[in-house]
């Protein structure tokens, strides 16, 4: 699941990942969450002026690893997310690729 710019998700696909998204808003992302198998999520903190934190709560409940990309400082995160990984904008696609691979690898090693 991805809620960031097309350049980044195209890089993920180019390296063999299947991208679900990107989504224009939180509602669309929630709908997809119920329909698609998701291994990891890349979340922009603000998606069309909406905070992505309710989606992050559900991902956490489902055990789906995620991280945030943002141009904002860490203190905009609610306390419950302050220990989550943040990649600061502007981002290079390889940064996202590495972080997605790490998240999926960690999840697989726990099972």
Report DSSP letters for 44-97, one per residue: ESEETTEE-HHHHHHHHHHT--EEEEESS-GGGS-GGGTTS-EEESS--HHHHH
> What pTM, to 2 d.p., does this model score?
0.85
Task: Give the whole-number percent of the chain exceeding pLDDT 90.
Answer: 26
Query: Is there a contact between 17 and 10 (Cβ–Cβ < 8 Å)?
Result: no
Kindly tell me if the per-residue pLDDT of 52 is higher than 90. Answer: yes
| pLDDT tens-digit series, residues 1-34 | 565 667 777 888 888 888 888 888 889 889 988 8
Residue ranges covered by each domain of the chain: 6-110
DSSP letters spanning 23-41: -SSHHHHHHHHTTS--S-E
Which fold does the domain 6-110 belong to in CATH? Rossmann fold (3.40.50)
Distance, CA of 101 to CA of 40 (rounded, Å)? 9
């Amino acid at each position: 699941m991805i809620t960031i710019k097309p350049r980044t998700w195209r890089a993920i696909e180019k390296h063999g990942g299947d991208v679900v998204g990107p989504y224009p808003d939180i509602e669309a992302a929630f709908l997809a969450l119920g329909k698609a198998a998701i291994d990891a999520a890349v979340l922009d903190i603000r998606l069309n002026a909406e905070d992505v934190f309710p989606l992050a709560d559900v991902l956490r409940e489902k055990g789906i690893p995620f991280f945030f990309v943002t141009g904002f400082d860490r203190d905009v995160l609610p306390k419950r997310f302050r220990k989550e990984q943040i990649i600061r904008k502007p981002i290079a696609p390889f940064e996202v690729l590495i972080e997605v691979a790490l998240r999926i690898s960690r999840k697989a090693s726990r099972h």
